[in-house]
Amino acid sequence: MTTTIFDSPLGQVRVTGDNNGVSRISCTDVSSDEPVSTALPEPVEQAVAQLMDYFGGSRQTFDFLLNPAGTPFQQSVWKALLDVPYGTTLSYLALSRRLGDEKAIRAVAAANGKNPLWIVVPCHRIIGSDGSLTGYAGGLWRKKWLLEHEQGGSGQLSLF
C-alpha cells in the first residue's frame, strides 16, 4: 500500500491504495510526518488529481478504481451512497429504505460512519430526517463545508 498526503481547504488529505484501487481517503487537522511515496500507483495518482479538482470546483464525480475493505453489508451501504448525487442530500431513513429495510437505520448509520473513502463515497450527503447535520467522522464543520461547497457556496442546503 502506498500513501500520499496533500493539503486541502479542510486539512491534510491522506490517500492510500495500490494498483488494485484506493482503499482509504481521510482528512486530518494534524500535520503528518508520515513518509509519503513519490512513486504513486495510478489509482492513487488519479484520486489526488480528482480530489484537487473537486476542491477547485471543477469536478462533481470520481472515476478512479476503489478498493475499500468492509463487510458485505458495509459494502452495500457504501455502494448505495454512490447513488446520492452531487449537491443533494438524503436522510439515513431514506437510505435505509433504498436498501430495503427501514428498520436497519442504525446499522446503515454505523456503516455510513465506517466509510473509508471520504468525499468519494459521499457519506457527508446523509443527514437526519429533520435536516440536521448529524454525525460525521471528520467533524460536523467539515460536513457543513462539503455540503455548502456542493451547493455552490450558497449556504442553503436542500434535504432532497
Q: Which residues are catalytic?
A: 123
In angstroms, the CA 6 to CA 31 distance is: 10
Question: Is residue 1 a contact partner of residue 17, using CB atoms and an 8 Å limit?
Answer: yes
Question: Is residue 68 a contact partner of residue 23, using CB atoms and an 8 Å limit?
Answer: yes
Q: Which residues contact 93 (CB under 8 A, 6 or more apart)?
A: 102, 105, 129
Q: Give the three cell numbers for residue 88.
A: 443533494
